[in-house]
Every structure is written in C-alpha cells, then in structure tokens.
C-alpha cells in the first residue's frame, strides 16, 4: 500500500506538497545540526584515537581550538546540507517529512543547494523570515528561489499545483490562482 | 442467501440429544422450538416447496429439451426420406418452432437450476442446524479423545510457522510510523497556528499562499484574487 494512503490525518494528506511552516522547518534544521555535531564529535574522537594508535604511546582525545571546531563543523554542515538537498533530503527533513525543491517545483541542483547550504550554515536566523513571509519563505528561499514543502512520502512526491478549495477553507490559506470565499 | 448455520438460540446444548448414553430415542424439536432457534417455519416450508417445485421444473425442462432433440433428429430423417418439394415447407415451419422452444427451454432450465441450487442450499443449511441442535455437545466432547487429538498436533511446527520476528518487526514499524506521523502532524498544526498568530498580529486579512507550482509551469501572479471576508 502506498505510504500516502497510510497518512491518517486528513489535514496532513491535504497539506502534502504545500509550503511548510517555520516550526517544522526549525525542528528539521535543529535535527540536522545536532546530527552534524554528533558526527563531528565522534569523528574527532575516532580520529584522535586512530592517530594515537599509530603515532603516540598514550591515547588521548585532542581538543582542537575553538575556531577550528567551528570551521570544521561549518564545513561539515555545508557538505551535509548540500549533499542532502541536491540528492534527496537531509535526515532532519526526512524525519520531519519535508523536502526542499526549486520554486518551479523541480529538484534542487547542486550549485543552488551549495549556496543555500552556505547561507543556512552561516546565518541560522535566515529561517525566521518564513514566520512573517506570506509564502512561508525564509531568507534562503528568497535568495535562491527555493521552496520547502510538506512531503511525508518516503519517495519523491510531485508537489500540488495549488491547494484544493476545501483545503484552503480548512486551513485558512489561499493559493495564488484559486479564489476563496470565507463565511 | 439465508444464514441458517448460526442458531439464534443461546442454549443449543440443551436441546434433545442423539447421543444419550441411555440410548433413548432423540426427540426432534417441535415446530415451535425450531422456530425459536431457526427462524420462521413458514419460510422453511416455502423453501422446501421451492426446492421440490424447482426440481420438477428442471425435470420438465430436461424432458422438453430431450423431446426437442428427438424431434429435430426426426426432421433430419424426414428430410432425407421424403421428397424435398413436399416436405420442405412444413418441415421448415416445424424447425423454426422447435428452435424457439429450444431457446425458451434453455433459458428456463438455467433459471430453474439456479433456483433449485439456492433452495437446496437453504434447506441443507436448515437440516445441518437442526442436526447440530439435536446433538448433546457435552456428551459428544466426552466421547472425543481430546488428548490424543492434541498429541497429534505438531505444536513446534505450528510455532515455527508463525514468523514471530516478522510480527514483532511489523508491529514495531507500525508503531514507529504512527508516532512519527503524530509528531509531524503536531508540528504541522503548530506551523499553521504560528502563521495565523503572526498574520493576526500583522493584521493581515488574506491568508497565506501555500501553493507550489508544478514542474516547469510558472505561477500566474496576475490571477490572484482577494479573500472575501
């Protein structure tokens, strides 16, 4: 059975393929950052142990300087986000059921994913613009013409052209080409 | 189809028995008792009549078909024997008539066969329920060597047949997916709530535009209507 059919919440079904809100996106981004930090810490520990095994008589964990930590985490985050967005989606987005696509609905290309990742990794508050933007667009979305959509499906999902009239009435949103009447 | 196999009586065990140890003759339930546990006797009687009548109709239909077949063969022989100039007209008329009768007989036979099958099934169900009701289950169970039956069951084999790992995996996966979906739905609700809150603070009258265009089809901004509050 299709996973789409297993989504029990009617509202969730109707929101699939539409622009995601700031809370889901923030949680997904936080998950990605925590994951990268964990990978970095484990990587540093493993690298220290491996180094000491070959080149030292005692085993100790190295404590890199602050700036180096930040630089390495930043690089790791950029690489991770770029890889995730250009090939599918990051683990955080996967968990939260989100997907980053171009504003025309096509998958994100490498360079656009890279530049978007650089901006996101450098300036986390960029996402906050989505809180006030009429189309839930963060600064990175505006700058690189991307869209973050709800996509709970494990496989690629073609975004809806626009929410149905019933969906608009239910969630109080509108599409740019569908009139709605609110009683 | 009537569901006669499930007796409505809550105490089927207490009906007269066929396996009494004192070898008494089992008592057939009266019509009133039967009606209490199996439905209307009138209906049962009508089903039996249906069965008999349907069987008779099937027999008549078969006889008709046989007669038609014999007549048809006879006509063939008559054609071969009699001169064509004399026999052709009357024989053709008889053949046409036979053809019509044959078609009607086939149709009628099919219908009757279906009716008979249905009626037979219904009557059979009633008979089975009646027989089961007549049995004393307690005594029947006493006579069945349960231990021997159970001993012959290959319990380890049955357990091996059950894919416990698969069952656990399926249930765990389902539970995880439900939990994940619930979390996502909660965050989705918070997304909508926060958007509405911000829009209310900013005194926006138009709701947000969450639509995404399809691949390659640009958005038509000019077609943006307002919201009529």
> What are A81-139's pLDDT values in tens digits?
999 998 878 999 999 999 999 888 888 899 999 999 999 999 999 999 999 998 899 99
Domain range enclosing B55: 12-153
The contacts of residue B228 (CB under 8 Å, 6+ apart) are A180, A181, A182
> Which residue shows structure tokens 């493993």?
A46
Q: Do B228 and A181 touch (CB under 8 A)?
A: yes
> Domain count of chain A?
1
- A50-87 pLDDT per residue, tens: 998 888 888 888 888 899 999 999 999 999 999 999 88
Considering the domain boundaries, does residue B224 fall inside one?
A: no
Q: Which residue in A has a C-alpha nearest to residue B229's C-alpha?
A: A182
Q: Do A105 and B212 touch (CB under 8 A)?
A: yes
Same domain, B42 and B116: yes
Q: Which residue in A has a C-alpha nearest to residue B211's C-alpha?
A: A162
- Where is the domain boundary, B110, B135, B153? B153
Residue in A96, A149, A140 with CA at minimum distance from that of residue A117: A140
Contact assessment for residue A112 and residue A104, using Cβ atoms and an 8 Å cutoff: no
Other Cβ atoms within 10 Å of A122 Cβ, number: 11
CA distance A158 to B214: 7
Q: Do B210 and A15 touch (CB under 8 A)?
A: yes
> Domain count of chain B?
2
- A16-53 pLDDT per residue, tens: 888 999 999 999 999 999 999 999 999 999 999 999 88
In A, residues 11-70, which contact B (CB 8 Å cutoff)? 11-12, 15, 17-24, 27
Considering the domain boundaries, does residue A177 fall inside one?
A: no
Domain range enclosing A84: 3-171
Nearest to B209 among A106, A160, A176 (CB): A176
The contacts of residue B32 (CB under 8 Å, 6+ apart) are none
**How far is C-alpha A77 from the geometric centre of its chain's CA atoms?**
12
- Phi then psi for B209, rounded to 5 degrees? -100, 105
CA distance A50 to A162: 53
- Phi then psi for A180, rounded to 5 degrees? -130, 145
In A, residues 108-147, which contact B (CB 8 Å cutoff)? 131-132, 134-136, 147
* B166 Cα to chain A: minimum distance (Å): 18
Same domain, B159 and B86: no
The pair of structure tokens assigned to B202 is 């900013």
Considering the domain boundaries, does residue B164 fall inside one?
A: yes
What residues in B contact A159, CB-CB < 8 Å? 212-214
Q: Do B217 and A101 touch (CB under 8 A)?
A: no
Q: Do B208 and A134 touch (CB under 8 A)?
A: yes
Considering the domain boundaries, does residue B25 fall inside one?
A: yes
pTM of the model: 0.53
Residue in A73, A80, A135, A82 with CA at minimum distance from that of residue A108: A82
CA distance B17 to B200: 79
Same domain, B130 and B159: no
Considering the domain boundaries, does residue A180 fall inside one?
A: no
Q: Do B220 and A150 touch (CB under 8 A)?
A: no
Contact assessment for residue B190 and residue A131, using Cβ atoms and an 8 Å cutoff: no
The parts of chain B modelled with pLDDT lower than 50 are: 1-38, 216-229
Q: Which residue in B has a C-alpha nearest to residue A154's C-alpha?
A: B177
Residue in A102, A130, A113 with CA at minimum distance from that of residue B209: A130
Nearest to B211 among A132, A176, A182 (CB): A176
Q: Which residue in B has a C-alpha nearest to residue A92's C-alpha?
A: B184
Q: Give the B-side interface with A, CB within 8 Å.
A: 177, 180-181, 184-185, 187-192, 194-196, 198, 202, 204, 206-221, 223-225, 227-229
Query: Is the pLDDT at A168 greater than 70, yes or no?
Result: no
Same domain, B18 and B125: yes
Considering the domain boundaries, does residue A129 fall inside one?
A: yes
CA atoms within 13 A on the CB side of B104: 10
Q: Do A96 and B184 touch (CB under 8 A)?
A: yes
Query: Residue A123: what pLDDT?
Result: 92
- Where is the domain boundary, B153, B184, B215? B153
The residue of A3, A104, A129, A150 whose CB has the most chain B CBs within 10 angstroms, and thus the best one to mutate to test that interface, is A104
Query: Residue A77: what pLDDT?
Result: 95
Q: Do B208 and A17 touch (CB under 8 A)?
A: no
Any B CB within 8 A of A97 CB:
yes
Considering the domain boundaries, does residue A181 fall inside one?
A: no
What residues in B contact A101, CB-CB < 8 Å? 212
Query: Residue A155: what pLDDT?
Result: 65
Instruction: Count residue pairs from A and B with Cβ separation < 8 A.
Output: 144
Considering the domain boundaries, does residue B123 fall inside one?
A: yes
Nearest to A21 among B192, B224, B228 (CB): B192
The residue of B202, B203, B211 whose CB has the most chain A CBs within 10 angstroms, and thus the best one to mutate to test that interface, is B211
Same domain, B165 and B197: yes
What residues in A contact B228, CB-CB < 8 Å? 180-182
Q: Do B185 and A134 touch (CB under 8 A)?
A: no
């Amino acid at each position: 059975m299709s996973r789409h059919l297993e989504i029990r919440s009617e509202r969730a079904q109707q929101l699939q393929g539409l622009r995601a809100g700031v809370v889901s996106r923030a949680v997904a981004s936080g998950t990605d950052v925590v994951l990268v930090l964990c990978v970095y810490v484990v990587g540093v520990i493993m690298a220290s142990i491996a180094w000491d095994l070959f080149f030292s008589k005692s085993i100790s964990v190295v404590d890199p300087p602050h700036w180096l930590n930040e630089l390495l985490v930043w690089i790791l985050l950029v690489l991770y986000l770029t890889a995730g967005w250009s090939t599918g989606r990051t683990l955080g987005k996967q968990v939260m059921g989100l997907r980053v696509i171009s504003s025309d609905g096509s998958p994100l290309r490498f360079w656009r994913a890279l530049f978007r990742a650089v901006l996101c990794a450098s300036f986390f508050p960029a996402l906050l613009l989505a809180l006030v933007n009429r189309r839930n667009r963060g600064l990175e979305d505006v700058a690189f013409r991307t869209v973050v959509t709800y996509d709970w499906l494990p496989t690629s999902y073609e975004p809806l052209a626009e929410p149905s009239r019933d969906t608009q009435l239910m969630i109080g949103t509108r599409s740019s080409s569908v009139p709605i009447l609110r009683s | 189809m009537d569901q006669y196999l499930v007796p409505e009586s809550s105490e089927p065990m207490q009906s007269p028995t066929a396996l009494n140890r004192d070898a008494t003759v089992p008592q057939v339930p009266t019509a009133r008792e039967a009606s209490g546990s199996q439905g209307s006797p009138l209906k049962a009687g009508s089903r039996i009549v249906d069965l008999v009548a349907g069987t008779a109709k099937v027999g008549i239909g078969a006889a008709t078909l046989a007669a038609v077949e014999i007549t048809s063969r006879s006509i063939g022989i008559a054609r071969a024997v009699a001169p064509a100039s004399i026999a052709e007209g009357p024989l053709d008329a008889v053949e046409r008539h036979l053809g019509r009768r044959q078609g009607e007989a086939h149709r009628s036979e099919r219908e009757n066969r279906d009716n008979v099958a249905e009626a037979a099934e219904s009557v059979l169900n009633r008979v089975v329920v009646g027989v089961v009701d007549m049995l004393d289950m307690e005594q029947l169970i006493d006579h069945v060597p349960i231990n021997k039956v159970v001993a012959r069951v290959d319990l380890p084999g049955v357990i091996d047949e059950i894919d416990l790992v698969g069952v656990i995996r399926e249930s765990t996966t389902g539970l995880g997916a439900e939990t994940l979906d619930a979390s996502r739905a909660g965050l989705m609700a918070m997304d909508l709530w926060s958007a509405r809150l911000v829009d209310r603070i900013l005194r926006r009258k138009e709701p947000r535009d969450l639509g995404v265009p399809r691949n390659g089809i640009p958005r038509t901004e000019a077609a943006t209507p307002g919201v009529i509050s």
